[in-house]
Chain A
Amino acid sequence: MTVTETDQPTTAHPVPAGGDDRPAARLRTDAVRLGYGDRVVVDGVSLDVPTGRTTAVVGPNGCGKSTLLRGLGRLLRPVGGSVLLDGDEIGTLSTREVARRVGLLPQQPVVPEGVTVLELVERGRHPHHGLFRTWGRADEEAVAAALERTDLVHLAGVPVDSLSGGQRQRVWLALVLAQQTPVLLLDEPTSFLDVAHQLDVLDLVRGLSEDAGSTVVMVLHDLGMAARYADHLVAMRDGAIVAEGPPGEVVTPAVVEEVFGVSASVLTDPDTGTPVVVPRRRVRPEGAHR
């Protein structure tokens, strides 16, 4: 990881190899408004998700970052504006069509009792099957590749509920990888993990856009991790984008203060060249929104 990111903070980022042979899935939103019932959580967000890169969405609790992700994955119908997938209004595409192009990993999926790693990862092939499913070569290869990539081959026959949190998270990633979508949306893929497992997961995710040319959008709690692993950073507050761009440009004391309400020093990681945030103290009292 440290070697590949030496030229990180600059905007010029070579498009990763391998992204050329697959159709460019472009995902973007245009003044999208998303919410639950009468409550609007995301209010007029326009975002072009960079194809073949890793985008991290950061912001304080309740800023609408997970809601935006659900909107991007068609789990939530916009109440205004639009979400476009390859130029089509995402709501006009069928659930299955979207599922072949966009994979989404929610924050806390349910682990069924007694299910093995292999059985769970196989379910990632669901969008590629009809009502009367037939398991084919492509399915087998996709599942094998997903398990290899997440280093789970040796655990294939083990029940998921007997695994540790870090291993479980890799299983869920393997399931989404088996889905073989050019776009991946991950909601807090590192929550509840210790630092070593966070790095494991994020290295893996980062590799997806670097080696496989996948477009990744992940919601992250940790600004430091986001700054280190994302090509593109989106900072949200109160349902709107405050700043977006390469981490080196976005992560400044002013933006950190505006988004999180804390004053902070921003240093540069001597190894990776990415910004490191050192929070000092809260400057905006709780509940004091604009």
Chain B
Amino acid sequence: MTAATRPTAPTAPTAPAAPRSTADALAAARRGPRRRRAVVVGVLLVLLVALVLVRALLGDYRVSFVDAVRIIGGAEIPVASFILMESTLPRAVMAVLCGAAFGAAGGAFQVMLRNPLASPDILGLTLGASAAAVVSVVALGLRGTPVTVAALGGSVLVALVILSQAGGGGSATGRMVLVGVALAAGLSAVVHWMLVRSSIYQAQEALVWLSGSLNSVTWTDIGRLLVLDALLLPVLLALSGRLPVLVLGDDLAAALGVRVPALRIGVTLLVVALVAAATAVVGPIAFVGFLSGPIARRLVPGRPSVGIAALVGAVVVVGADHLSAYAVPDTALPVGLVTGLLGAPVLLWMLRTRSTPEGR
């Protein structure tokens, strides 16, 4: 802003290749999408913080914001400390962590497979975890950590079968989706079979693995998922920078320098790791992976955004958890039930308001 720099700035004869008008036109073309993106991210962040505060403070027992700050700072307030630190705050934090994991994983998977149906919950990744867990509870009589390990193994196994179709040319994505859907159907049959032959006591135990719930979240669980999210999400976000090229089709993506099979394998591995980690802690929270991507794409059209899908997922789970706890008086519904109930109408609404008939 000093007088010395003034004269050099306006002349700028450095870029004769692009006339001023083109540069202006491109800047103008960028302005709209950029502003929209900034607004969407801002609104989602504010909404997320607001929902976390609501979830943590405005339960049956209300904790004031000032008290909450003091409690987190180390103060001990009777009742409030217990409610906040053992119940509402861990649930809110866990909802954010697993919502972001499900949302990012779902959004990335759908974009990678160019199919809005191709989310990890539809393609059997979460069902793989559920089925393995239910089998180990009902048939093998396992409890605790071994069940979690089995659940992880189930997801990974399903992912490997789906990945076996990732190579080669032609309709690799179509094959991956079909194999996933077929696996999901088979696994759901396994789950039902197991439930039929289980005792009522075992069924109760297995139920946690069928509909996700935040009812018994511990700070240890949160620590584990936080570490995994912190490791996996940034890598997935970096890798998803290539997805805008992949969505143009395998041939054009390859011609633009993307190693298509390698990218598919990389994204799938990250997605299964995120989904398995979140499922192992809270169970399969229905439809979050499925819904976050389409909602994110509706909010910010044109550019697949895994980051925004993660934010949407977090918002959905925190909001749904609050509803699940207080919508029906004296009944704590599993959060997965609420997301499932919300999911169907949202899906129908999106189908009806689809912006282009071809629907890519």
A residues with CB within 8 A of B: 36, 70, 73-76, 95-96, 98-100, 102-106, 108-119, 123-124, 126-127, 131-133, 137, 140-141, 143-145, 147-148, 153-154, 156-157, 159, 161, 179, 185
Contacts and interface: CB of A to CB of B under 8 A. Distances in A.
Interface string B1-21: 000000000000001011001
Contacts of A185: 255
10 contacts: A36-B169, A73-B255, A105-B255, A109-B251, A110-B252, A113-B302, A113-B356, A113-B360, A131-B239, A153-B26
A159 B302 contact: yes
A126 B252 contact: no
B355 interface: yes
B22 interface: yes
B25 A153 contact: yes
Given A95-B257, A126-B257, A127-B256, A106 B251 contact: yes
A90 to B, nearest CB: 12
B30 to A, nearest CB: 7
A116 B29 contact: yes
Chain B's interface size range is 35 or more
Contacts of A108: 249
A159 B355 CA distance: 11
A172 to B, nearest CB: 8
A70 B258 CA distance: 15
A39 to B, nearest CB: 12
Contact of B258 (A95, A110, A113, A119): A95
Contact of A115 (B21, B259, B302, B358): B302
Contacts of B170: 36
A110 B247 contact: yes
Given A106-B251, A154-B25, A131 B258 contact: no
Nearest to B300: A114
- Among A99, A102, A110, max chain B CB count under 10 A is at A110
B348 interface: no
B255 A144 contact: no
Contact of A111 (B259, B297, B360): B360
A115 B18 contact: no
B359 A113 contact: yes
B344 interface: no
B248 interface: yes
A198 B360 CA distance: 26
B32 interface: yes
A76 B168 CA distance: 10
